[in-house]
Amino acid sequence: MTTYLLRRVGQAIVVIIGVMIVTFALIHLEPGSAARATLGIRANSERIAVFNAANGLNRPLAAQFATFVKQAAEGNFGTSYSMHQPVSTLITQRLPRDAVLLGLSTLVALAIALPMGIYQAVRRGRAQDHAFTVVSFVLYSMPDFFFALLLIAVFSVQFHLLPSQAPQAQSVGGILSDPRGLVLPVVTLSLVSVAGFSRYMRSSAIGTLAQDYILVARAKGLPNRLVLRRHVLRNSLLPVITVLGLQAPAIVTGAVIAESVFNYPGMGLLFYQAATSKDYPVLLGSTLVVGVATVVGSLLADIAYSLLDPRIRYDHS
């Protein structure tokens, strides 16, 4: 197992370096764009040159990249053009809030999707299976923003049950002390991922149910309920863990939408604001953070998988 993990960590490091190169290259896709974005479209070439010199943008790309890597390693992503704060401060403020929002919605999504997938697998091909299939496809096919606005229209505007604005508190504790405000963002984010998770769980469970060891378990005299709990659940969950790791980018995409609809002060909103105001240091820093988080996320998923699957845990070879 150790060799497997070492190889996996090695891959993750390679990918993180790749992410740095790509984000860096993206920002430099259009030379001078940073200056033009900050100074306005009427800036003349002289002022651009001054800006570039001041920000080190006129040095060779390789040198700029080296500086970028060095500073990124120190957690220094420069200062936001538009918010005039260090990017690292902006990010460290927001990351915990995202951990709350995304963690909660992923948990909710799994709590709904896993039983649903198993239920569909057991009832495969019957009316219940088809009904859940259609529901999950409709959820999946609904644009996130439309779903979010619909929730607001019904629960906030029509019935005044829940606030349409997410908690604005600075701290995690403050956010959690306003659970009502969290409901709609969490529902939006989770219901959209329910579809994906439950489809995957369904086909994984169908595969498990067809295994010989399930027949053996029934031949032992285990009632169906116990067969599902003891043998189907764990074996079907294993592949889903890996998918969870791969889902991270999709979850972030959802977060950008949900945070801008509900005005939740997280990374998604920060990112969206930076993109519209062309705040390159923020874009660069947050893309890098999100990319690294994704890589680490899927690495963690693989580690969890290898801990839960004895075939890898006790792999002597």
Partner 1 sequence: MSHLLDVDHLTTRIRTSRGVVRAVQDVSFHLEAGETLGLVGESGCGKSMTGLSLMGLLPPGGTLMDGSSVRLDGRELVGLPEREMTRVRGNDIAMVFQDPMTSLDPTKTIGHQVAEPVLLHRGCSRAEAAERAADVLGMVGLPHPRERMSDYPHQLSGGLRQRVLIAMALANEPRVLIADEPTTALDVTIQAQILALLADLRARLGMAMILITHDMGVTAGHADRVNVMYAGRIAESAGTDRLFHGMRHPYTQSLLASVPRLTQDPEVPLATIPGLPPDLTEPASGCRFAARCPYVTDACRAQEPELTGPDEHRYACVHPTDGPRLPGTGPLAALPRTAAKPSENGAPGANATARPLLEARGLVREFPLRGGRVPGVGRRVVHAVSGVSFTLGEGETFGLVGESGCGKTTLGRLLVGLDRPDAGTVTLDGTDLGHLRGRELRCRRRDFQMVFQDPFSSLDPRMRVGAILREPLRIQGIGTTREQKDRVAELLAEVGLPERGADLFPHEFSGGQRQRVGLARALALTPRLIVADEPVSALDVSVRAQVLNLMKRLQASRGLSYVVISHDLAVVRYLADRIGVMYLGRLVEIGSADDIHLRAAHPYTAGLLEAVPVPDPEAERAKHGAAVTGELPSPVAPPSGCGFRTRCPLATRRCAEEQPALRSFGPAHAAACHFPLREPAPEKSAAPTPA
Partner 2 sequence: MTTHDTGPVTAGPPQPGPPEGGAPASGRGAGRLSLAAFLHNRRALAGLAIVVLVAGFCFIGPLFYHTDQVTVHLELAELAPGAGHPLGTDASGYDVLGRLMAGGRSSLELGFAVALATTVIGTLYGAFAGYFGGFVDAVMMRVIDTFLAIPGLVLLLIVVSMFTPSLWKIIVLLSLLSWLTAARLVRGEVLTLRSREFVQAARMMGSTGRRVVVRHLVPNAAGVIIVSATFTVADSILMLSTLSFLGLGLPPPHADWGTMLTRGLDYLYDGYWWLVYPPAAILIVTVVAFNLIGDAVHDALDVRLQRP
Give the interface with partner 1 as residue ranges (CB under 8 A).
3-4, 7, 211-213, 215-224, 226, 230-231, 234-235, 238, 308-311, 314, 317
Rounded Cα distance between 173 and 135, Å, is 35
Rounded Cα distance between 219 and 302, Å, is 33
Amino acid at 15: V
Nearer to partner 2, 177 or 276 (CB): 276
Give the total of residues touching partner 2 (CB under 8 A).
Answer: 56
- Among the listed residues 235, 244, 124, the one whose alpha carbon sits nearest the alpha carbon of residue 196: 244
Q: Minimum distance between the CB of residue 286 and partner 2, rounded to whole angstroms?
A: 8
Q: Tell me which of partner 1, partner 2, none is bound by residue 221, counting a contact when its beta carbon lies within the kind-specific cut-off of 5 to 8 angstroms.
A: partner 1
Q: Minimum distance between the CB of residue 223 and partner 1, rounded to whole angstroms?
A: 5
The answer to whether 80 and 89 are in contact (CB under 8 A) is: no
Phi, psi (5° rounding) for residue 148?
-65, -45
Q: Minimum distance between the CB of residue 33 and partner 2, rounded to whole angstroms?
A: 6
Nearer to partner 2, 153 or 172 (CB): 153
The owner of tokens 């908690």 is 167
Q: Tell me which of partner 1, partner 2, none is bound by residue 144, counting a contact when its beta carbon lies within the kind-specific cut-off of 5 to 8 angstroms.
A: partner 2
Q: Tell me which of partner 1, partner 2, none is bound by residue 234, counting a contact when its beta carbon lies within the kind-specific cut-off of 5 to 8 angstroms.
A: partner 1
Interaction pattern, residues 195-224, with partner 2; x per rule: CB under 8 A: ----x---x--xx--x--------------
Rounded Cα distance between 310 and 308, Å, is 6
The answer to whether 128 and 120 are in contact (CB under 8 A) is: yes
